[in-house]
């Protein structure tokens, strides 16, 4: 089975690119070799580029971080995060917070970020005992034990407090390797009996939002590039757009046979494989 493609192959076939952030552009700490140049090259080919990220923080924050790591903001058109989509769904009324929820919000995040709760006018609480809403936007499980998250969230789960997870990723890249991501914490909350609403890849809302803001509405001309079969490939497949899996990121050490089994278990076709997000010029 030869599903190998190059970035040049994809550029010949598609006009709009939905590109994942971590695992494709970044290794969790810095830019992958060639990724900065690859974005510039796609833009030079007049491609429309959306960075589509399961991040509980805003697109503006993530853009600033990419620029600080050496990327040029002019090399992509939009930065869409699951955090921004969550805020849009709540403020538009598409996601209704149950009556009574709102004043007190417990946020699980990185560096105590509470962007979503703050933007909605919610009051911060650090306790699961009095939270009216739980937001799981990020994880520090590379240095915070999962048991600590369980102890914090257990009272809210016992009260059936709604949880909005704005980053469904199960694993995340860190300088120390893979660690449980926000989605793993949301899964723990669910296992304790708490209700969870997930926003981000592979769920449709983030793709609908991205499609709304791009020029190209023909799904046959859009391709998603990501490092996770469970999130990037499944999400693209459900939405009806093409997808390519990079062999960097969370599945970098996974064999082809394992990838085939994962794809079968998730009921998606084995994806096209991109060795990395960089230009690959074939020799004549």
Q: Give per-10-residue mean pLDDT for the chain (284 aa).
A: 86 97 95 97 97 96 97 98 96 84 87 92 94 96 96 98 96 90 98 98 98 96 97 97 96 93 93 92 38
**What stretch(es) of the chain map to CATH 3.40.50.1000?**
7-84+201-274, 96-198
Q: What is the pLDDT of residue 100?
A: 64
Stated pTM of the model = 0.93
pLDDT given for residue 2 in this prediction: 62
> Which structure tokens are listed for 23?
């695992």
- For tokens 């930065």, name the residue: 79
Q: Determine contact, residues 38/225, Cβ cutoff 8 Å.
A: no
Q: Which of 36, 42, 166, 37 is nearest to 110 (CA)?
A: 166
Residues contacting 282, CB < 8 A, separation 6+: 6, 8
Whole-number pLDDT of residue 99: 66
DSSP type of residue 220 = G
Predicted pLDDT at 143: 94
Query: What was the pLDDT predicted at 96?
Result: 87
According to CATH, the superfamily of the domain at 96-198 is HAD superfamily/HAD-like (3.40.50.1000)
The reported pLDDT for the residue numbered 283 is 31
CATH 3.40.50.1000, domain 7-84+201-274, yes or no = yes
């Amino acid at each position: 089975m030869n599903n190998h493609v190059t970035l040049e192959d994809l550029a010949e076939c598609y006009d709009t690119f939905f590109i994942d952030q971590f695992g494709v552009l970044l290794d969790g700490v810095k830019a992958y070799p060639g990724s900065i140049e690859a974005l510039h090259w796609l833009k030079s080919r007049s491609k429309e580029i959306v960075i589509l990220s399961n991040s509980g923080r805003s697109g503006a924050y993530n853009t600033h971080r990419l620029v600080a790591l050496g990327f040029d903001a002019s090399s992509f058109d939009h930065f869409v995060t699951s955090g921004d989509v969550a805020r849009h769904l709540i403020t538009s009324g598409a996601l209704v917070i149950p009556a009574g929820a709102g004043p007190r919000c417990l946020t699980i995040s990185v560096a105590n970020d509470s962007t979503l709760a703050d933007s909605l006018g919610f009051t911060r609480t650090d306790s699961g005992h009095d939270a009216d809403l739980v937001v799981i936007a990020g994880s520090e499980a590379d240095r915070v034990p999962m048991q600590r998250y369980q102890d914090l969230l257990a009272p809210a789960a016992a009260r059936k407090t709604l949880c909005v997870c704005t980053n469904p990723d199960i694993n995340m890249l860190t300088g120390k390797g893979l660690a449980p991501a926000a989605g793993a914490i949301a899964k723990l909350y669910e296992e304790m009996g708490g209700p969870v609403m997930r926003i981000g890849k592979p769920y449709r809302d983030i793709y609908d939002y991205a499609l709304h803001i791009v020029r190209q509405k023909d799904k046959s001309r859009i391709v998603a590039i990501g490092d996770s079969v469970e999130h990037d490939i499944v999400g693209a497949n459900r939405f009806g757009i093409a997808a390519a899996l990079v062999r960097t990121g969370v599945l970098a050490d996974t064999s082809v046979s394992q990838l085939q089994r994962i794809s079968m278990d998730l009921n998606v076709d084995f994806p096209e494989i991109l060795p990395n997000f960089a230009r690959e010029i074939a020799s004549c």
